[in-house]
Amino acid sequence: MIPVTGVSGETIAVLGLGRSGLTAARALREGGATVLCWDDNPAARDTAETEGFEVRDLMKQGAFDGIAALITSPGIPHLYPAPNPVIARAYEAGIPVDNDIGLFFRSYATRAWEKFDTSPKVIAVTGSNGKSTTSALIHHVLVDAGRPAQLAGNIGRGVLDLDPAIDGEVVVLELSSYQTDLARSLTPDVAVFTNLSPDHLDRHAGFGGYFAAKRRLFAEGGPDRAVIGVDEVEGRYLAAQMAEGAADDRVIRVSSGTKLTGPGWSVFARKGFLAETRKGRQVASIDLRGIKGLPGAHNHQNACAAYAAARALGLAPRQIEAALKTFPGLPHRSQLIAEADGIAFVNDSKATNVDSAVMALRAYERIRWICGGLQKEGGLDALAAETGNVRKAYVIGREAAQFALGLGGVEAQVCTTMAAAVEAAMQEAEPGDTVLLAPAAASFDQYDNFELRGDDFVAEVTARL
């Protein structure tokens, strides 16, 4: 655990007692604070009381008297579409509002570091798609190279649940826009921006607010090195904002599909090959085509970002290449779960929006596509130009029929349930086909989260093999 510093003797309120909230409460108490907890869920309040925390309804008159700060969980709206009533009360009372990410960055470094030969580092990864894979891949590369490393944030453990730093350790954090938007302290050594596409727009009052939340990691974080995907205009803008000039190698530009030129530091992938260039010269190249854990252009972009972050820490190209080849991939993210009779079965349940589904569709040929669920804003129009490899769609979800209508010219079968979709796809699949779960939609109409949806797909496939 990372004890929170600077809170000894203070009274701190914690709103939301899920994984990050309860961990924050423990870390605050470890730092000497008196912690008051609140959650609308009675079961969560009972858990906090069992651990000895005082539970206080923060909506009651005078509830914020004597409170120095409010720590809130990332899933709770703090500004748009409207602040949670408790957070609004904190604002009215002039109480600072923070989250566990802010607490981590202000507490991670300690005086014990003075005795280390090599100071610990923090790599923070944000963006719309590929954050989890990029973060896990960076962690995998570091561990494979013999560097002590921990992985946390929006993936794996809560940030304050990490072990205190050891000599030369690297912490890799996946950070969502919810986390970067509110954190009062953001000081990564290396910051990574993968890409940008519309998501969570209600929480940020539109696309500009969404980008602004992610930009904070760079503009306010002041990283020593910035790894920035430049395939969208926002990334190019951000790179230009961070660099003092075209040759400033504190910024490493990353692309998938575009050859990057110029005097700066770049890492890009084209036709399955990763290339690193510095000062206008190529210094390394890696063939990504045969790496099963990183299929498709979107994963090649993730590989470029992870490669660049590892190079920023001084790892050699061949060390990174060896690690890329042993990366197993992540559950629910282009996860190859089985191959039988010449048919591949791939679980990409994490493709919860149209843009991530497009990336999955581009990665495979001859696709039996299982899709559908709770549609997000923007509709399905962007899928129309990306379905050339789809032999047939098998649509799940409560509104499967309506979803199928939005697929345009793709032959689609309304299945509603995962079991029916897997059964139909497996009966019709032929050698060379890929049965791909890439829903292009949220899971909440049928599942509590995308992980459970992916687990259901895996279970249904496994039961029939």
Known binding residues for ATP: 127-133
Strand partners, 274: 269, 286
**Full 3-state SS string of 370-400:** EECCECCCCCCHHHHHHCCCEEEEEEECCCH
DSSP 162: S
If one counts every other C-beta atom within 10 angstroms of the C-beta of residue 459, the result is 13
Q: Which of 320, 307, 137 is nearest to 229 (CA)?
A: 307
In contact, 227 and 193? CB cutoff 8 Å? yes
CA distance 440 to 105: 34
Contact 74, 178 (CB under 8 A): yes
CA distances from 1 to 20, 161, 164, 168 (A): 12, 4, 6, 18
Torsion 48-52-56-58 (CA) sign = negative
CB burial of residue 232 (10 Å; 0-12, 13-18, 19+):
middle
d(CA 20, CA 370): 33
Q: Give me the DSSP letters along 215-233.
A: HHHHHTT--SEEEEE-SSH
Q: Could you tell me which residues come within 8 angstroms of residue 460 by beta carbon, excluding any fewer than 6 positions away? A: 418, 419, 422, 423
Tokens of residue 138, six digits? 């960076």
Which residues make Cβ contacts (< 8 Å) with residue 187, sequence separation at least 6?
105, 122, 221, 222
The span from the CA of 260 to the CA of 276, in Å, is: 9
The b/e string for 423-442 (b: 16+ C-beta within 10 A; e otherwise) is bbbbeebeeebbbbbbbbbb
Q: How many CB atoms lie within 10 A of CB 10?
A: 17
Query: What is the Cα 213 distance to its own chain's centre?
Result: 14
Q: Annotated binding site, which residues?
A: 127-133
Among candidate residues 276, 273, 321, the one with its CA nearest the CA of residue 297:
273
Parallel/antiparallel/unpaired status of strands 335-340 and 343-347: antiparallel
Distance of CA 244 to the CA centre of its chain: 28
Q: How many CB atoms lie within 10 A of CB 137?
A: 29
